[in-house]
Structure 1
Amino acid sequence: MKKFINQHPGRAFKLLLGIAPFVLLILLYVMGSDARLEVNPNDKLLPSMSQIADGLERMAFEPSKRSGEYLFWQDTASSLTRLALGILIAAMLGLLIGLVTGALPMIAASLSPLLTVVSLIPPLAILPILFIVFGLGELSKVVLIALGITPFIARDIQRRTQEIPFEQLVKAQSLGANTSQIMIRVLLPQIMPKLFDAVRLSLGAGWLFLIAAEAVAATDGLGYRIFLVRRYMAMDVILPYVAWITILAFLIDVSLRELTKKLFPWYVQGGKS
């Protein structure tokens, strides 16, 4: 009998195995919801699927009586804008710091200890400081996301830069390349796809910082709405919002992966992504 460790599912069976846990979780939720609602029809902890659908329809397809906006889509646009700006800033700073410290030992000796210390500071601990310095507007939320994930990206890029074979640098120097040419024409092209990987890995933390900032001080956004309606135990709104955040995170991750394949096919073909 073939050992189980050596067995691999086919494409169709692999898809089925991937879907099965989600179907099981939904079935368990429906069973739990039905059981609770049968005992107490006014129970709010586990709303039925129809109640969840009604809550989503109310938020996404009915204009707010107060503002006239479709709150679900307004919250989505606000959160994605903050997340995109924060990640973009973090990616640029992380690339610059990581590349410089990874390629230049003199700079690394000066900045690496500071980068290590900064990476150990819990970003949420400095959230009140950011609100004091930058105010309660959009800037503080974007800065929190950027500060939260920049050290992670920078340290990953630094390590990836140091992993590039030293022989490449020697060959470039033997051909007359100076320091800036080596960094731009030798190191940077090899580091760029790894930057996309680092951003993908930091997305979870980015969402965490975004939701935390919106929960504390915001007038819209997915995190703001979740913490607003929790006062009323509106699980018919909270659950769709949580599911939507998960879907958005998945779609962003897939988009970055596909973009990496398109921009750096040599990296993907080498089995690196």
Structure 2
Amino acid sequence: MRRAMNVVPGKGARFFLALIPFVLIAFLYVTGSAERRAVNPNDKLLPPVSEMATTVTRLATEPDKRSGTLVLWADTAASLQRLGLGLGFAAAIGLGFGLLLGMLPTASAGLGPLVAVLSMIPPMAILPVLFIVFGLGELSKVMLIVIGITPFLMRDLAMTVGAIPREQMIKAQTLGASTWQTTLRVALPQTFPRLLEALRLSLGPAFLFLISAEAIAAENGLGYRIFLVRRYLAMDTILPYVAWITLIAYVLDFALARLARWGFPWAYVQEAR
């Protein structure tokens, strides 16, 4: 008997199956928008797709009267800069401490509990503290992303290093490798693929911290724009911005996945079988 758990769709079928939910969501939205507008022509909750397209075109192609910038692209550039800095610093710190905790039992015993405790602190709870300490400028927004995802990266990478077969460590030492050489030649190469995967998992929280910080104290950015126009119930701007943020996050996730498989194909050998 053929079981459903053993049915593997081909590439064409996978594309079709993936497309169905998006088509259904679009259909439900268009239908709901039309029904609400039929009842109330001034309804703002579900604006028609044509209205959102007009708003996006204006934000992307017409300079803002106050600042003279193309609002959509200026907001995107500001948010991506903050996100990139936050992810970059978090990755560097997480990789360094992950290797330290994973390679040195003494460091793990001394710093492991502290990192575990830090990872339990809700980053949003200390946002006011960050604004007080670092001010309302760019640094506080970047630091929220760093503080929010770095402890997770530390713990995840430390566990990755700890899961490396002990035989590899022993062989390296037998060949005369020092702790530093073993870290660089054995642990580090096997940690990079997991770092990229961990960054993929951190994209969602990183965007959450970014949008939250921009909503409270910023003069530009995707989160700033959403919370600026919410008072006017401008769903024709809010919904496209949410979709744009989602698309950016998906593209970044896809790029990190491709980078991991291109740079470290040996780590995905079993997936290819």
Q: What is the TM-score normalised by the length of structure 1?
A: 0.98
> 1 CA distance for matches of 2:17 and 2:197?
26
- 1:263, distance to aligned residue in structure 2 (A): 1.1
Deviating more after overlay: 95-104 vs 5-14: 5-14
> 2 CA distance for matches of 1:3 and 1:271?
22
Q: What does residue 244 of structure 1 align with?
A: 244
Letter in 2 for 1:240: P
Matched pairs, number: 272
Q: What does residue 42 of structure 1 align with?
A: 42
1:21 aligns with 2:32: no
Where in structure 2 are the equivalents of 1:60-99 lying within 5 Å?
60-99=60-99
3-state SS, counterpart of residue 136 of structure 1: coil
Letter in 2 for 1:55: T
- The Cα offsets for residues 146-194 of structure 1, whole Å up to 9 and x where unpaired, read as 0000011110000000000111111111111111111111110111111
1:136 aligns with 2:139: no
> 2 CA distance for matches of 1:270 and 1:168?
20
> 2 CA distance for matches of 1:270 and 1:189?
18
3-state SS, counterpart of residue 65 of structure 1: coil
- 1:229, distance to aligned residue in structure 2 (A): 0.4
> 2 CA distance for matches of 1:5 and 1:203?
30
Root-mean-square deviation (Å) = 1.0
> 2 CA distance for matches of 1:11 and 1:116?
42
Letter in 1 for 2:220: D
Q: What does residue 171 of structure 2 align with?
A: 171
Letter in 2 for 1:217: A
Q: What does residue 203 of structure 2 align with?
A: 203
Q: What does residue 222 of structure 2 align with?
A: 222
- The Cα offsets for residues 55-89 of structure 1, whole Å up to 9 and x where unpaired, read as 11121111101111000000000000000000000
Where in structure 2 are the equivalents of 1:152-191 lying within 5 Å?
152-191=152-191
Q: What does residue 259 of structure 1 align with?
A: 259
Letter in 1 for 2:174: S
Query: What 5-or-longer segments of structure 2 have no aligned partner?
Result: none
> 1 CA distance for matches of 2:4 and 2:98?
42
- The Cα offsets for residues 210-229 of structure 1, whole Å up to 9 and x where unpaired, read as 00000000000000000000
Query: What 5-or-longer segments of structure 1 have no aligned partner?
Result: none
The percentage of counterpart residues that share the same residue type is 56
- 1:4, distance to aligned residue in structure 2 (A): 2.2
